[in-house]
Structures are given as C-alpha cells and as structure tokens.
C-alpha cells in the first residue's frame, strides 16, 4: 500500500511540470518544487538498484551538490526556501506559506536515504493537495493553513512517535549501521547518511584516518570514561542501563566507532539518531542528534518558528498524547536509557543571522503555549527517563575551517581534553575552600568591560561536611577546569557585560544583561542597528522567549592552558562554550546544572557533600514543576583579559582576592598563571 501510494503521488507530480493549470505567478514555484521531488525519486531509484552505492566520489559529490544547491548561500537569494524571496515573488499572503511547504519538503532528502517511503508519501500528498487548491483559482490562505494544520495534526502520531523510538531503540539507528558496516578509509561512506557534506566533514574524516590507533583510543577513552565517572560521582547505577545516545558531527566516524566499542564493553548499545528535519519534531533551528555540515544557517534561522502555522492548544494536547502513548509502549526501553554522549565540533565562521520581516512568527499566545509544551514534554521525558537516573558527557573538537593550522590546533585540543584531572582537583580545591567562607562574590570588569556583579552564595550549616562549589575534574563536562555553584538569587544584583561571545552558534557583540535578585531585568547587544532587533535576538536565542531567566550557575574557569592556546591561534571567537567556559568566570542563565536531579546527593573528591544545587525558582518543583525549569542553560564567559577582579566577601566584610587583572592571586593557585606568561594582557 505504501509503495502504491508512492507511485500514484510521484506520477501526479511528474504531470505538474507540463501543466498550465495554475496562475502564472505560481507556476515557477510549483515547477521548481516538483523538480526537487522528482530529483528525490531519481535518487530513490539509484539507492534501490545499487548504482548510488557503487558510484565514485565525483558522482557522489555531484549528488550532494544537487540536493543542497538551492539553499546554499550563493543561491539562497533566489530560493523559495528563503521567505523574503518567496514573499517578493508570490506576495505576502502566499509567500511565507509556500516557503514553509518547500522547507518541509526538503526533509525528503533524509527520508529517502533512510528508506522511509511512508514519509515520502505523506509529503508528496501534502504538496499535491496544496497544488490542487491553486488549480481551482487562487485559494484563500485560510484553506492552505487548514491543509498544513491537518498535516501536522494527522501525522503527529507518525513523526513524533517514530522520533521517540529513534531515541530509545538501537535497532532504529540507521547511522550506527553505516559506521559499523563501512570501510571508513573509503570516504564515500560519508554520502550514505543523506546529510550535507562540506570540506569540513571530508577533511575531518581524512585527518582522523591519519591518526594513530593509540590517539583514537585516547580520544575515545576521554569521552567514555567521563561518561562512566559521571554515574559514579553522582551515585547512579549504570548497570541498570543498556542504551547510550551518541551525538556527533559527520567526519568523526573513526572516533565514534571506537566510542561504540568502549560503550559496548560497559554493556551499553548506541542509539544514533539524526537531527530532526521536520517542523513536527525539531526545536526551532537547534540541531540535536547527528548531523552533517550546515548548508546555510540562515535557512534554518528563517524557518525556526514555522510551527506557528499549526501550534494551538489542540495540537499541543495531541502531540503530548502521542508522546505519552509511545513512551508507555516502550516504558522498559526508556528506563534503560542512560543519557547522551556528545562529541561536538567547533571552528566554523561565527554566524550573525539576518533578521527578516517576511518570516513566520509565533504570536504572543503561541509563545506562551510553546513554552508550556516544551515544559510538559520535558516533564514527560523525565517521568519515563528520570533525571536522577541518567547522566551525560560532552567533549568537543575543531573542524578544518577553524584555521590553516588546523592539525596543530586539533593536537592542542586533544591535549586540553586529556589534561591531568588530579592537578586541577588540587588547585580548584584551594579556590573552593576560600569560596566556602564567602557570603557573596564580587566580579568587576576591566577597561571597557562594564561588569559589576555581586553573586550571593549558599550559607553552609556544617562547613566541615558541606561545600558550596563543585570541583569539576572532567567527568561529564570535558575538559577539566572549573568550580561552579547554583547561586542564591536573592541579593544577586548587577550587570554582566562581555565585548564579544559566541553562544549556541550565534555571535553576540557588546552583550549586557542586568540582574536584580538573580533574575534578568534588561538586556542589550550591539549586533544590529536597531535596538528592537537586538532585543529580539537575545530574547529568542538566550532567553528562549521567556520574559526573564534566573542566574542558574556561577563558575570560575581555571583552564589557562586552553586560554593560552586560544590566544596563540587567535581562535577565541570560535571556541565552543564547553571550552570557553573554562577560560574565565562564567554565568549561566536558565536552569541550574542540577536540574531534574537536585535531590541526588553529590560529593566532591574531598568527601564534602555539594549542597548548593537549588535556588528559589528550582525549588518550585515541589509545588508546580512547570514553574521550576526553563529547559535552557546558556553559559556566558568573561575572558581573563576583560577581568579586573574576583573577590570573595565574607559575612564579617573580610575580602579575599581570587583573581586580579586577569591573573590568579590566591596563594596555592599561582601555577594556573604559568600558561599565561607569554601572553600580553
């Protein structure tokens, strides 16, 4: 039946390019979109008869170029995937709707590689249904919106349910089979995922193939041992788990294959799911799961709020019902899910999006509903995969785009990711011992940095047995090099400022956040000419549409080795937050580091219990869990050179300097300054 549906649909679409039945203004759109669908059909035949698998590298590259050509930056100005172009050509009423349709149809690339014929059927039938409406004259936009709404509602049970299964069941892992079953020295394997393959992916794979087996083992061990220690350090039972989710960027398959081996020795099978390509399952423009290169971040950004076309209370309830039913069906498998192991990449050119009037936007009511839906989805996940029973680990490596000295930088990052944790444990304990005496910490910026922030600290009842700060020595959060806490919100006041920072793939210039009693009261940046655009940029991508967020974490980064390397290679603006947060004091807005597991008892290496895991917002979980969590946690780091001082102030007013003019001055921490000696301030 699925194949019969497919043949009927593709047959009808072939006819579209020869017909003259729609208004001339829309003919180019429908013909070009039909051409895209027919290209998918052509690819499907080659995948089926084996000619794609047997193709040489040049043909595979050509296929990849064809599939993504229309949305590449050099073509995007005249692509119907670009809402601005679609509105210009098709008019305000129709442009945004048909641009959405085009963007959703591009998910067919992933589906054809995965052999998901039902998904292809669904999307082709959606296209035909909307085309048919234009054959009867110009349809009302309400009619098109209704079609899109019922597409989302009717097929939520397919897309959302399958997404849960992909996250829980190893046998659903299309990508894991590619990694296991292919000769990874033959780079043609990269083109079997159905992702965009840029020079970053090709050169990354080539470079990893040049590394010794010992180096690959060392890299893999850093990831999997960090994961294992994460369970040990939090007293969680890894033996109860059987599945681990591995997230990574294409090009790192040789490393990932070794990671698989390590996890399987722990009796954990990997699930490797693709970053979602459908508006029904993805979260704005954020890519969660394995992925290739990003052919055009602006395309993703332009379509980040496309769910506005169908998001209402009825749809939200429908999706939640599907998720609950699916989790209930796979309740046993969900209970065996251990959490993600993430291998991230960095080094791409920082992206500053263009803000467009033509894009689809959520209404104020939809924004509120979206936040509630995210909250309820996370509650549901936590019900079946309890936060106090799972863990994670994150590690990051550069891509070739980072600089000409890519191989040198890569070697430096391996070194940073595998630093001796024991060295950091000792010096960080010295910092913690002093911080534990404090009532608050005062952070001041230097020069043009306008930071002036007082962070209130938890009050210890038994300093001999309790501690405020966690001594981070590279378990779940690699590399080593920070001490962190959940600050007391009440009395945390002031301004946080950084001249430039790269957060979640986006560049922020001259970013400022104001805090009163630990919550953001105002914000600004200097990315755009108009202040309202800057506000919207921060609200969308740091506050994630929340009216405010609490200060969920205060930390002091101690990894001066990473800082020195960043300065040496001039890559500060390209480092991921995972490393950047270890290179100065940092402040996370959103949830605490302990969200969903605040009641799990945790201890530092010195045996003291970490007791500052909550704040007055997260404690609301006992009354109304939807008010306790925001499902975001964004770290913002002040680099050492922008730092005048960090001072611990005790209850009696005694002040102790920890850092001054970007250098560690507390006795017992001076060794941290060694990597900084050859750096001019």
Q: What is the pLDDT of residues 255-295, one digit of tens each?
A: 999 999 999 999 999 999 999 999 999 988 889 999 999 99
Q: Is the pLDDT of residue 681 over 60?
A: no
Residue 422, sorted as left (phi over 0), alpha (psi -120 to 50) or beta, turns out to be alpha
Given this model, what pLDDT does residue 190 score?
98
- pTM for the whole structure: 0.92
Average pLDDT over residues 452-481: 91
Grade residue 420 by pLDDT with cuts at 50, 70 and 90: confident
DSSP code for 170: G
Local structure of 58: helix, strand or coil? helix
pLDDT in tens, 575-630: 888 898 899 899 999 999 999 888 888 899 999 999 999 999 999 998 988 899 99
For residue 680, what pLDDT band results from cuts at 50, 70 and 90? Answer: low
d(CA 662, CA 566): 15
Query: Cβ of 214: how many Cβ atoms within 10 Å?
Result: 8
> Two tokens at 524?
């600004």
Q: For 441, phi and psi rounded to 5 degrees?
A: -120, 135
The residue whose two tokens read 């924004």 is 367
**C-alpha to C-alpha distance for 255 and 224, rounded to whole angstroms:** 11
Mean pLDDT, all residues of the chain: 94
Task: Give the pLDDT confidence score for residue 284 in this predicted structure.
Answer: 83
442 contacts 479 by C-beta, under 8 angstroms: no
**Range from 233-237, 332-336, 389-393, 671-675 that averages highest in pLDDT:** 332-336
- The rounded distance, in Å, linking the Cα atoms of 252 and 661 is 39
- Chain-centre distance of CA 177, in angstroms? 24
DSSP, collapsed to helix, strand or coil, labels residue 441 as strand
Please say whether the beta carbons of 41 and 160 come within 8 A.
Answer: no
């Amino acid at each position: 039946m699925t194949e019969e549906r497919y043949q009927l649909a593709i047959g009808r679409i072939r006819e579209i390019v020869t017909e003259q039945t729609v208004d001339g203004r829309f003919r180019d759109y429908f013909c070009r979109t039909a051409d895209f669908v027919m290209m998918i059909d052509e690819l499907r035949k080659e995948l089926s008869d084996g000619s794609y698998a047997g193709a040489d590298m040049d043909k595979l590259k050509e296929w990849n170029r064809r599939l993504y050509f229309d949305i590449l930056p050099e073509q995007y100005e005249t692509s119907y995937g670009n809402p601005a172009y679609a509105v210009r050509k098709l008019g305000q009423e129709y442009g945004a709707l048909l641009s959405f349709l085009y963007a959703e149809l591009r998910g067919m690339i992933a589906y054809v590689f995965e052999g998901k014929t039902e998904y292809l059927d669904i999307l082709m039938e959606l296209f035909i249904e909307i085309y048919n409406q234009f054959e009867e004259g110009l349809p009302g936009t309400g009619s098109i919106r209704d079609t899109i709404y019922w597409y989302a509602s009717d097929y939520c049970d397919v897309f959302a349910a399958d997404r849960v299964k992909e996250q829980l069941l190893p046998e659903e892992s299309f990508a894991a089979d590619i990694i296991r079953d292919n000769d990874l020295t033959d780079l043609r394997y990269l083109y079997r995922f159905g992702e965009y393959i840029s020079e970053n992916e090709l050169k990354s794979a080539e470079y990893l193939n040049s590394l010794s087996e010992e180096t690959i083992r060392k890299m893999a061990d850093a990831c999997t041992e960090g994961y294992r220690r994460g369970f040990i350090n939090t007293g969680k039972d890894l033996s109860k788990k059987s599945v681990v989710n591995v997230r990574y960027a294409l090009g790192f398959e040789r490393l990932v294959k070794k990671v698989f081996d390590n996890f399987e020795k722990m009796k954990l099978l990997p699930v490797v799911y693709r970053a979602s390509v459908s508006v029904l399952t993805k979260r704005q423009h954020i890519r969660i799961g394995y992925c290739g290169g990003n052919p055009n971040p602006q395309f993703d950004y332009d379509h980040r709020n496309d769910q506005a076309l169908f998001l209402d209370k009825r749809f939200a309830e429908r999706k939640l019902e599907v998720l609950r039913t699916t989790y209930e069906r796979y309740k046993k498998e969900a209970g065996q899910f251990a959490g993600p192991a993430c291998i991230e990449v960095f080094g791409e050119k920082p992206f500053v999006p263009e803000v467009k009037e033509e894009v689809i936007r959520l209404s104020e009511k939809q924004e509120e509903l979206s936040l509630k839906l995210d909250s309820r989805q996370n509650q549901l996940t936590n019900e079946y995969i309890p936060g106090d029973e799972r863990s994670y680990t994150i590690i990051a490596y550069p891509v070739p785009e980072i600089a000409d000295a890519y191989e040198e930088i890569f070697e430096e990052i391996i070194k940073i990711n595998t630093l001796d944790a024991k060295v950091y444990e000792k010096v960080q304990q010295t910092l913690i011992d002093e911080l534990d005496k404090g009532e608050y910490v005062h952070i001041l910026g230097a020069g043009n940095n306008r930071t002036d922030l007082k962070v209130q600290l938890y009050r210890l009842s038994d300093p001999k047995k309790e501690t405020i700060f966690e001594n981070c020595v590279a378990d779940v959060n690699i590399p080593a090099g920070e001490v962190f806490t959940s600050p007391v919100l009440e009395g945390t006041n002031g301004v946080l400022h950084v001249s430039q920072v790269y957060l979640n793939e986006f560049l922020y210039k001259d970013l400022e956040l104001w805090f009163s009693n630990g919550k953001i009261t105002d914000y600004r940046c200097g990315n755009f000419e108009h202040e309202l655009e800057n506000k919207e940029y921060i609200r969308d991508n740091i506050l994630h549409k929340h009216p405010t967020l609490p200060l969920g974490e205060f930390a002091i980064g101690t990894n001066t080795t990473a800082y020195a390397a960043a300065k040496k290679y001039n890559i500060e603006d390209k480092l991921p937050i995972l490393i950047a947060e270890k290179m100065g004091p940092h402040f996370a807005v959103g949830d605490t580091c302990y969200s969903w597991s605040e009641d799990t008892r945790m201890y530092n290496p010195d045996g003291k219990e970490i007791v500052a895991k909550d704040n007055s917002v997260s404690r609301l979980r006992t009354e109304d869990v939807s008010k306790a969590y925001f499902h975001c946690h964004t770290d913002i780091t002040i680099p050492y050179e922008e730092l005048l001082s960090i001072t611990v102030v005790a209850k009696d007013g005694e002040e102790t300097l920890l850092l001054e003019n970007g250098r560690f001055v507390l006795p017992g921490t001076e060794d941290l300054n060694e990597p900084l000696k050859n750096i001019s301030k």
